[in-house]
Amino acid sequence: MKNRHLWLYFLFMSGSVLIGTVPILLQAAETPTASMLANSCAGCHGTNGSSVGPASPTIAGISNDYFIETMQAYKKGTRPATIMTRIAKGYTDEEIKLMAGFFSKQKFIRYEQNFDPAKARAGKKLHKKYCDKCHEDAGRSAEDDAGILAGQWAPYLRYSMDDFNSGNREMEKKMKKKMDILKKKEGDEGVEQLIHFYSSQK
Amino acid sequence: MSHIDRRSFLTLAGGTVFATALGYPMISFGTGKRVVIIGGGIGGATAAKYIRMADPSIEVTLVEPKKTYHTCFLSNEILGGNRDFKTIAFGYEGLKKRGVNVMHEIAIDIDATAKTVTLKGGKKLGYDACIVSPGISFKWDAIEGYDANVAKTLPHAWHAGPQTVLLRDQVRAMPDGGNVIIVAPPNPFRCPPGPYERASQIAWYLKNNKPKSKIFILDNKKKFSKQKLFQAGWQRHYGFNTDHSMIEWISGDAGGKVTRVDAKAMIAEAGVDFKGSVINVIPPQQAGRIAFAGDLVDKKGWCPVKQNTFESTRHSDIYVVGDASVAAPLPKSGYAANSEAKVCAAAVVAKLNGQSAPVPSYVNTCYSLITPNDGMSVAMVYRFDKQKGKVIKVKGSGGLTSDKASAEMRKREVSYAHSWFMNITRDTFF
Ligand SMILES: Cc1cc2nc3c(=O)[nH]c(=O)nc-3n(C[C@H](O)[C@H](O)[C@H](O)COP(=O)(O)OP(=O)(O)OC[C@H]3O[C@@H](n4cnc5c(N)ncnc54)[C@H](O)[C@@H]3O)c2cc1C
């Protein structure tokens, strides 16, 4: 062990030390690190962004672009919120980008939720028909920059759907089209079934 | 060095050389990485977890007398009959799983020169960094007739646990038509909106069970946290500003300053005498006792710190987080204690690895619940101003729930308050 220590010591002394000091120089700037910023969200969104519920959303695994869009919308006040509009205003564009990098790399941990199996089965079909195009892999994928739906907390999904359907939250044009057809054909029950499907996924 | 596995050995070696390159002296192996944390509440437990997460080669010992910690936050819901007492209890198994050495002991002294913490049992623990998060203690001599002994019958319930149960049971046992007296403390104190949320929750219980009863808040102050929102909520639900208001708030100016309580006669003496079926005295506060023993307090009884690291300005290598520290504009709240502890943990990890303190970032949020369906919040983002050497609010951020918020949004705030409770306790203890 002792020799190993010396060996490492020389390795570091001969070259890597310079590289090693770079982050420290950068840190002298006033922007906190991504983890320093992200840690302060954990009280509501869970350690590393996976919420244990019952309502506040998991933001781990979120797509980089959707995160930035969302935080910017909160900052401008164009997306309805109980509290995020007040919080997002505390961060610069650069800090938002840093946090996007952090949260998009975290694993979305899914916790068990109560759901009605019959509704979830019906919801699965509706999802395939109306939603899977932009919320791929049964709503598990982040790649569509549209928010992860599978395993998201049901009350949060319900609030989001209410906000979309009341017109308080702007819906992407094509999503609105699909949603309108869904509502017409399946009514509020269809929306409920979708929520049960998403919250049934582990 | 036998207890250091190979992976942490590598980290340690890296850290050591890093330090040398920056002109720090070499850290010798086997020492240099021991952290002792006093207090396993919100600040202390969070610091323990986040230090272990950032650098598992650091030995962390947490000293906390209680095997079960009861959160103060949401304990008011228990008084309103809206929460079960069991749900606010947390143990230390989660932290033990993270490799934290938990000792159920009381710290009685800190020696900043020898760098040791003395435990009541006689043991001394050596440290390289000591983090102190003992919360608050009470100024028992401030109100005549009220001391630790009287608190056994007239609860303060400002440390959650048996005191919470006592107050709940007294409110349940009182006659319909009786008065509940809440004596609110002067600034600064733990949880500025707390006494007013308490009044709201007790009012909820009384409205549904003993509607002829009344609550008097006898206050030392001229105004209080979230005042407009509380009063609007009381107006919506408890007849505030009408002849049969369930809640009366009497400010210090208007005769609300309590100078004496008589536990036998059940009277709180202010401008006039107030007779209560239940008297809840929340006494004036100061830092936890160990902060006095460790010479960490200023004249006012709180611990001044460098607000970017939470290192004491009185003794180096001792850090104070949570309610005991002077962290204003951060309030004495659970969210703030959790946020401060993470900033402190990062600073301690950096220091023990010979690096400079990272740039901090802090958040605070406090929810207050007026009924099971009507909630509100205050939120703020903070940063450290190098020139001023102080924490400052980020301009334009934060603030209160809008007074125009719809009933639907206020209902959502309740479910998000419950989510906050679940997530912050998980983030702290597991
Ligand atoms: C009624 C009420 C409602 C509240 N509501 C909210 C809310 O909604 N939101 C919010 O954010 N905050 C709320 N708070 C405030 C919150 O509870 C505190 O701010 C928070 O607990 C502070 O954390 P701390 O680590 O400083 O102290 P604590 O959590 O009190 O922890 C201190 C710990 O140190 C231990 N200790 C003390 N002395 C020693 C010693 N000598 N040796 C070893 N251990 C010791 C104690 O046993 C204790 O476990 C509320 C408080 C009250 C009273």
Are residues B305 and B246 part of one domain? no
Give dist(CA A127, CA B289) in Å, integer: 59
Instruction: Say whether residue B368 is in contact with chain A using an 8 A CB cutoff.
Output: no
CATH number assigned to the domain with residue range A117-200, chosen from the 4 options 3.60.70.12, 3.30.1330.20, 3.40.50.970, 1.10.760.10: 1.10.760.10
Nearest to A31 among B335, B359, B379 (CB): B359
CATH 3.40.50.300 correct for A34-104: no
Distance in Å, CA B159 to ligand 1 centroid: 7
In the numeric block, the tokens 């023990």 are attached to B352
Q: How far is A186 from chain B (nearest CA, A)?
A: 25
- Counting from 1 in the atom list of ligand 1, the atom nearest the Cα of B325 is 26
At B14 the pLDDT is 37
DSSP state, residue B93 = H
Residue whose Cα lies nearest atom 23 of ligand 1: it is B42
- Identify the CA nearest to B345 among candidates B31, B29, B22, B45: B45
In a domain, B322, yes or no: yes
In a domain, B89, yes or no: yes
Residue B151 is part of which domain span?
Answer: 140-283
In a domain, B273, yes or no: yes
Q: How far is A44 from chain B (nearest CA, A)?
A: 5
Mutation test of ligand 1: which of B85, B136, B333, B378 has the most ligand atoms closer than 8 Å to its C-beta? B333
In a domain, B416, yes or no: no
C-beta atoms of A30 and B359 within 8 A: yes
Residue A26: band (very low, low, confident or very high) from pLDDT cuts 50, 70, 90: very low
Q: Which residues pair with B362 in a beta bridge?
A: B382
pLDDT digits (tens, 9 = 90+) for B35-90: 999 999 999 999 999 999 999 999 999 999 999 999 999 999 999 999 999 999 99
Mutation test of ligand 1: which of B50, B69, B72, B125 has the most ligand atoms closer than 8 Å to its C-beta? B72
C-beta atoms of B413 and A36 within 8 A: no
In the chain, the amino acid numbered B198 is: R
pLDDT top residue among B287 and A20:
B287
pLDDT digits (tens, 9 = 90+) for A62-72: 999 999 999 99
- Can you give the CATH number for the domain in which B159 is found? 3.50.50.60
C-beta atoms of A8 and B14 within 8 A: yes
In a domain, B62, yes or no: yes
Domain-terminating residue out of B330, B357, B384: B357
C-beta atoms of B418 and A32 within 8 A: no
State the best of A7, A33, A44, A112 to mutate against chain B, taking most chain B CBs within 10 Å. A44
Give dist(CA A96, CA A90) in Å, integer: 10
- What parts of chain B have a pLDDT lower than 70? 1-31
CA distances (Å), B41 to each of A61, B51, B242, B281, B324, in order?
30, 15, 41, 23, 12
Are residues B74 and B10 part of one domain? yes
Are residues B210 and B125 part of one domain? no
pLDDT top residue among A173 and B11:
A173
What's the burial of B386, exposed, middle or buried (CB within 10 Å: 0-12/13-18/19+)? exposed
At A19 the pLDDT is 43
Q: Give start-end residues of each CATH 1.10.760.10 domain in chain A.
A: 34-104, 117-200
Would you say B152 and B60 are in contact if contact means Cβ atoms under 8 Å apart?
A: no
Q: How far is B424 from chain A (nearest CA, A)?
A: 4
At B271 the pLDDT is 87
What's the burial of A185, exposed, middle or buried (CB within 10 Å: 0-12/13-18/19+)? exposed
Residues of B in contact with A153 (CB under 8 A): 419
At B1 the pLDDT is 37
Q: How many domains does chain B have?
A: 2
Mean pLDDT over the full length of chain A:
89
Provide CB contacts within 8 A for B122, sequence distance 6+.
none
Mutation test of ligand 1: which of B36, B42, B66, B95 has the most ligand atoms closer than 8 Å to its C-beta? B42
| SS3 at position B23 | coil
State the best of A39, A51, A85, A156 to mutate against chain B, taking most chain B CBs within 10 Å. A39
Residue whose Cα lies nearest atom 35 of ligand 1: it is B39
Are residues B145 and B247 part of one domain? yes
Q: How far is B272 from chain A (nearest CA, A)?
A: 42
At B31 the pLDDT is 56
Are residues B163 and B131 part of one domain? no
Residues of A in contact with B404 (CB under 8 A): none
Are residues B82 and B18 part of one domain? yes
Give dist(CA A107, CA A85) in Å, integer: 25
Instruction: Say whether residue B358 is in contact with chain A using an 8 A CB cutoff.
Output: yes
Q: Residue B422 is inside which H or E element, if any?
A: helix B407-429
Q: Residue B179 is inside which H or E element, if any?
A: strand B179-184
Q: Which of residues 9-48 of B touch A (CB under 8 A)?
A: 9-10, 13-14, 16-18, 20-22, 29
In a domain, B402, yes or no: no
| SS3 at position A190 | helix
C-beta atoms of A21 and B21 within 8 A: yes
Give dist(CA A67, CA B3) in Å, integer: 42
In the numeric block, the tokens 């019958």 are attached to B153
At A91 the pLDDT is 98
Domain-terminating residue out of B341, B357, B373: B357
Neighbours of A174 (CB within 10 A): 10
Distance in Å, CA B164 to ligand 1 centroid: 14
| SS3 at position B412 | helix
Give dist(CA A58, CA B414) in Å, integer: 18
Are residues B159 and B93 part of one domain? no
CA dihedral A100, A105, A107, A108 (to 10 degrees): 30
Closest-CA residue in chain B for A8? B13
Residues of A in contact with B386 (CB under 8 A): 30
Nearest to A12 among B17, B358, B360 (CB): B17
Are residues B214 and B116 part of one domain? no
Interface A-B, measured as beta-carbon pairs within 8 A, has a size of 156
DSSP state, residue B143 = S
- Counting from 1 in the atom list of ligand 1, the atom nearest the Cα of B336 is 11
> Helix, strand, coil shares of chain A as percentages rounded to 5?
65, 0, 35
Closest-CA residue in chain B for A5? B13
DSSP state, residue B40 = -
CA dihedral B386, B390, B394, B399 (to 10 degrees): 180
Q: What is this structure's pTM?
A: 0.92
- Counting from 1 in the atom list of ligand 1, the atom nearest the Cα of B290 is 41
The ligand 1 site (C-beta within 6 Å) comprises B 38-44, 63-66, 69, 72-73, 75-76, 106-107, 133-135, 158, 190-191, 194, 198, 288, 290, 322-324, 332-335, 337, 366-367
pLDDT top residue among A23 and B422:
B422
Give dist(CA B73, CA B58) in Å, integer: 30
At A30 the pLDDT is 87
pLDDT digits (tens, 9 = 90+) for A146-155: 999 999 999 9
pLDDT top residue among B22 and A42:
A42
Are residues B122 and B239 part of one domain? no
Cα torsion angle, B1, B2, B6, B7, sign: negative
ipTM: 0.91
- Counting from 1 in the atom list of ligand 1, the atom nearest the Cα of B44 is 25
pLDDT digits (tens, 9 = 90+) for B93-126: 999 999 999 999 999 999 999 999 999 999 999 9
pLDDT of residue A22 exceeding 70, the answer is no
B234-247 residues labelled b (16+ CB within 10 A) or e (exposed): beebbebeeeebbb
Domain-terminating residue out of B283, B316, B340: B283
Instruction: Say whether residue B379 is in contact with chain A using an 8 A CB cutoff.
Output: yes
Residues of A in contact with B374 (CB under 8 A): none
CA distances (Å), A201 to each of A116, A146, A191, B371, in order?
12, 18, 16, 33
